[in-house]
Structure 1
Amino acid sequence: MLVSGASGLIGTELIRQLEADGHTVLRLVRRQPANDTEFNWAPSAHIVDFTLMNQVDAVVNLSGAPLGHLPWTPRYKHQIVQSRLQTTQALTDAMGMASTPPRVLLNAAAVGYYGDRPGERLSESSSKGTGFLADLVESWENAAQLAPERTRVVTLRSGLVLARGGAMKPLLPLARLGLAGPLGTGGQHWPWISLHDEAAAIRHLITSELSGPVNLAGPTPITADALLQGLATQLHRPYGLPVPEALIGLALQDAGREMLLASQKVIPTRLLDDGFVFRHESADQAVRALLER
């Protein structure tokens, strides 16, 4: 198995689970390899050893500039896009050059595909929304579909991963200080998933027969207000200092509107129908697991 983005939040947990299952995991790195499981690549220069593709059954591509890096300046938006398209294109091109390409490519994507959709239940069959993230995910998924015909392609539309890093990194300290409160109205739905279940779902999809987009989100929808209030309660901290929607939009612009204020009631329809069992079925359970780690 070959993993890019192996040192990131999701990649680290995924590799822990894969190795616990007895899998051999090879890692693509952008530095000097430290051991014989690491291989250097330079996706921006389209440099990757295509012979690696003959050695692995599956490729998991988790690479991309972090969305939580703020603000999204025009220059950083360009980096967000290129970091995803270049890595995906480098991998699919390398697969195309291999004599025996991997059986499956699991390529990161995001629930940002759906845009801001208050009041809608969003499954994988829902239409594309509008906005920077929706356009990004469409291009990203199209790039993944350029893998060889014999390679099954799954695009992982991930929600908010409840872990100590990622999008929760700035929110957790605020909650610990008792400074958390409603973001805008607080009534927007946040599609969440625990870190364990994010990695476990990817493991499940490696051996599944599913292809195309799959929502990686917990089975019980929750509003941003309920999630953050639950976090404050479990930390035994006060909750209620509101942040006006206008202030979020002014300070964070597209990043605030699309990541914090967008309402996305995402349902993991295909994952549930495929028999995946969540360890953390509610956001409260996922938050408890986050705080216990």
Structure 2
Amino acid sequence: MTGQNETGLTVLIAGASGSIGTEVTRQAKAQGHEVLKLVRRPTTKPDEFTWSPSAGIIDYNLLDRADAVINLSGASLTKLPWTSAYKHEILESRVTATRTLVDAMQHAEHPPATFLSGSAVGIYGDRPLDILTEDSPRGEGFLADVVAEWEDEAKAAPDATRVVLLRTGIVIAPGGAMKPLLALTKAFLGSRLGTGTQIWPWISLHDEAAAIVHLLTSDVSGPVNLTGPVAATSDRITARTAADLGRPYKLAVPEFAIRTLLGDAGQEMLLSSQKVTPQRLIDDGFDFRFDTVEDALDDLIK
């Protein structure tokens, strides 16, 4: 290992300040790994290093120092509406960050042994009739196109680097996709979305981070679905959220209203159905703390 410390790996994280990155940092340090953080502002701590992914600026020496790189960078999908300009930002923020990291690895004398690169279950598209594993073909839609291009950038890492594509679902956490749902429900606007029968691929924040830390020292490569082991409909998620918050759950938003108000974002984030199975995590012996979305929501809210 190029930068291994006495008790673990030296891990370079892009996107460490987000809810997932913060929890990954906590769990990685708890397991004895040293964490270095890439930030887009002036540094304030010794473990921080400034970079500018949009300009392709990064200190190549960091990639010689790191045993592993975790890439969690990308513009939020929950910022609405998805205008043409913001769709461009969603794509470019992911592609340029990944390209900058991969280019730095290519220039490193001793590139990192492992690259865990952010990805999303959006690559599968709307597939209500399929059970989706990592071997399933890509689907159609804006997010499928974004994820395919995002993953292609990660695959350009050096041959000596093990690449894992972190295909993440809805993370049950205070931020991210749950933030607007929690806010609306607290405001007595908890609602069934469409029929409520569409399957939302979910994972608890703890298990999302634990899976990423697990994959640092695994032999698995290629796409890995980061989703909970038991599928859940959107109605189960929205209803349990309301119950845990002690709010009513009597409203319903029809599909046509979601499509009219939110366009592609509504269709792909709220109405798509994806029964995604974390087959490679299961086969690799990963132990989920939360098997059902109800347990994950209870832990988050209560």
Q: TM-score range by the shorter chain?
A: over 0.9
Q: How far off is 1:236 after superposition?
A: 2.4
Give the distance between the partners of 1:17 and 1:156, measured in 2 at CA: 17
**Residue number in structure 1 paired with 2:46:** 36
Could you list the runs of 5+ residues in structure 1 that have no partner in the other structure?
none
Deviates more, 1:78-87 or 1:178-187: 178-187
**Residue number in structure 2 paired with 1:62:** 72
**Residue number in structure 2 paired with 1:72:** 82
2:146 aligned to which of 136, 160, 173: 136
1:202 maps to 2:212: yes
The 3-state SS of whatever aligns with 1:143 is helix
1:287 aligned to which of 263, 281, 297: 297
Q: Which residue identity is paired with 1:46?
A: G
The 3-state SS of whatever aligns with 2:177 is helix
**Residue number in structure 2 paired with 1:161:** 171
Could you list the runs of 5+ residues in structure 2 that have no partner in the other structure?
1-10
Give the distance between the partners of 1:105 and 1:196, measured in 2 at CA: 21
Q: Name segments (4+ residues, structure 1) moved above 6 Å.
A: none
Q: How far off is 1:177 after superposition?
A: 3.0
Q: Which TM-score applies when normalising by structure 1?
A: 0.98
1:214 maps to 2:220: no
**Residue number in structure 2 paired with 1:125:** 135
Give the distance between the partners of 2:271 and 2:193, measured in 1 at CA: 7
Q: How far off is 1:119 after superposition?
A: 2.1
1:9 maps to 2:19: yes
Q: How far off is 1:24 after superposition?
A: 1.0
RMSD: 0.8
1:102 maps to 2:82: no
Give the distance between the partners of 1:52 and 1:150, measured in 2 at CA: 17
**Residue number in structure 2 paired with 1:113:** 123
**Residue number in structure 1 paired with 2:162:** 152
Q: How far off is 1:233 after superposition?
A: 1.7
| Structure (1/2) with the larger strand percentage | 2
1:18 maps to 2:28: yes
Q: How far off is 1:240 after superposition?
A: 2.4
Q: How far off is 1:174 after superposition?
A: 1.9
**Residue number in structure 2 paired with 1:176:** 186
Q: Which residue identity is paired with 1:117?
A: R
Give the distance between the partners of 1:234 and 1:32, measured in 2 at CA: 40
1:223 maps to 2:239: no
**Residue number in structure 1 paired with 2:56:** 46
The 3-state SS of whatever aligns with 2:160 is coil
Deviates more, 1:169-178 or 1:272-281: 169-178
Give the distance between the partners of 1:266 and 1:232, measured in 2 at CA: 24
Give the distance between the partners of 1:156 and 1:2, measured in 2 at CA: 16
Give the distance between the partners of 1:75 and 1:148, measured in 2 at CA: 32
Over the matched positions of the two proteins, sequence identity in percent amounts to 56
